[in-house]
Chains A and B, each alone.
Chain A
């Protein structure tokens, strides 16, 4: 099916949406080539658009071709019974190489997570950028720093391998609530970041459910022979945002100085403010976390509620004072 050309007109400047569309279709076409008969809905999901937008992209592609623009010179993607097929792909069978910003962004993310293979992975990304752009990649890579790895390379390397191979791990883990190290076997599903920390999200058979484990509290990690099947990405996606607040939010009273600092803390919501300070709420954290936050303002903040959290705070102040 080859559509007619649109009438000629002045070329508008490339809008971000136009650029986004170009980048999208450079993935869409090869993806559809690789997955013949992929449902419209599924392809739309993979492209990050809704079905209407996807069909719009397909319409746009009907006009793409190469000179001399004979019928067989056009791209030809068609929908039949809610499925997408590619009749003519015009050599768009794989996406283009990584742009330097795509590769640099992913490299920065990888370096923040760390692991034994991180420099190997970054080099592979660099090699996947067009030759002319590799220097820009090097430059850009030095302009983003997304954090320091949360644990030793060997611990992270083994965790990553266990996740890749679907193998359970035995962890030596420091449990903050019990203030002790313990050994436990976990089925590692994925690694997630929250409020500046990395967590292993995995199934703990001892507790019969999936739980987050702070990666910087994992002292040792050993692979076992126990295999498992991780839940699909769609199920894991919500776990990446496991910050879904549960329980009563902790309230803090903040002095004017603390207020300015607290405002930018991720997860902190200012609910009241005036010239003499304000009140902040933090959802989904325990009394220990709130106490540490309040004390980090050096006397300019107090935990107010719920009562158990206030007691925890008062007790922490009393104990700390006892040390001096």
Chain B
């Protein structure tokens, strides 16, 4: 019997059963599948159980008591998707967030997210959710045909890395560094995935550098997940690892040198997103006339220069050497443009 069919048959049997179904009975009902040697057929059944659980179908063993025989069962309460008892604005939040993430194309567990949206149409009676999910599933199913090749590679990489992060499997990465522009190969224990500025990054323990490293998915040239023992983890993430620390780190906060105290002035009118662009650790002081002064510590000052230059009406006040650097860049550009 085909495995997909057997799994559904098994689920149907256990869902319908009024009491736990014994292993003997399961064997009798599926003689072709679980009829071999005892050890092999138990192993097969355990694998099937694991796969059912991965589909969201928990099969439980009840050890039996005076009233009920020992055996396997699917607890209906633990199987059927419950209604999400949430106010409409929270359901809207889930619906909007999921739809936007799917529309963006590149998102970890994108296929799972599409399934989640289908289920949301039940759990929240949000009819649109299954439509969004359907559109996304179709696009994911079509694969790369309509995507830009580089974009498609990121989508594919995210899918592989999502699985590797969940299963804690080591990955082998061919990576083109941006600064040194050299291509390196390395093994990485993938700890987590984060998004910043519309791009996705992998954080993990790099076996080449023997330290935590961040990788821009757009620069990953090739990626393979360790195929051996797919259900056995290759590593355990370090206990002190917090993904948010990496994800909210601004480029000038990369630890490349000692901290340099910097002051930036923003001329009015100041857009709220400009202030926000300095990140959660910047100290912000609003002036009376609408201008804003930002103070922060930079451990990678060139990145701060780049950021300030990219803002309209912004100026580095201190330290003097960064101010001079900004001026030099602008003067060079002005000469080229005149």
Contacts and interface: CB of A to CB of B under 8 A. Distances in A.
A145 B88 contact: no
A93 B312 CA distance: 57
Given A6-B2, A48-B136, A298-B329, 7 more contacts: A49-B137, A49-B138, A66-B13, A109-B98, A147-B247, A174-B271, A292-B311
B333 A299 contact: yes
A82 interface: no
A148 interface: yes
Nearest to B76: A91
Contacts of A313: 337
B2 A94 contact: no
A264 B2 CA distance: 43
B116 A96 contact: no
Nearest to B245: A145
Interface string B244-258: 100110000000000
Nearest to A28: B118
B84 interface: yes
Nearest to B316: A324
A128 B82 contact: yes
B108 A105 contact: yes
B98 A47 contact: no
A71 interface: no
A195 interface: yes
Contact of B15 (A45, A90, A214, A237): A90
Contacts of A299: 329-330, 332-333
A307 interface: no
B70 interface: no
A132 interface: yes
Contacts of A271: none
Interface string B116-140: 1111111100001011111111101
A87 interface: no
A249 to B, nearest CB: 14
Interface string B215-247: 010110000000000000000000000111001
Contacts of A269: 148
A48 B123 CA distance: 19
Given A22-B8, A145-B244, A147-B195, A165 B97 contact: no
A25 B8 CA distance: 10
A132 B58 contact: yes
Interface string A87-104: 000111111111111111
B86 A130 contact: no
Residue among A125, A140, A295 with the most chain B CB within 10 A? A295
A317 to B, nearest CB: 5
B90 interface: yes
The 5 A-B residue pairs with the shortest CB-CB distance in the complex, in nearest-first order? A48-B137, A264-B218, A196-B198, A67-B29, A96-B56
B81 A121 contact: no
B4 to A, nearest CB: 5
Contacts of B109: 101-102, 104-105, 144
B306 interface: yes
Contacts of A196: 195-199
Contacts of B32: 8
Contact of A190 (B80, B99, B136, B269): B99
B57 interface: yes
Contacts of A129: 56
28 contacts: A9-B2, A12-B3, A26-B56, A27-B118, A31-B121, A46-B134, A60-B4, A68-B29, A96-B56, A96-B81, A102-B112, A102-B113, A105-B113, A105-B116, A106-B98, A108-B108, A110-B93, A117-B89, A124-B90, A160-B92, A161-B89, A190-B99, A196-B197, A217-B272, A237-B132, A265-B199, A266-B199, A314-B337
A95 B80 CA distance: 6
Contact of B128 (A97, A132, A233, A292): A233
A70 interface: no
Interface in B50-100: 51, 53-58, 78-82, 84-94, 96-100
Interface string A297-318: 1110010000000000110111
Contact of A191 (B1, B96, B122, B310): B96
A146 B272 contact: no
Interface stretch (B186-194, B205-213, B291-299): B186-194
A214 B273 contact: yes
Given A46-B118, A296-B307, A264 B216 contact: yes
A144 B100 contact: no
Nearest to B140: A48
A28 to B, nearest CB: 9
B186 to A, nearest CB: 18
B241 to A, nearest CB: 9
Contacts of B123: 128
A205 interface: no
A217 B195 contact: no
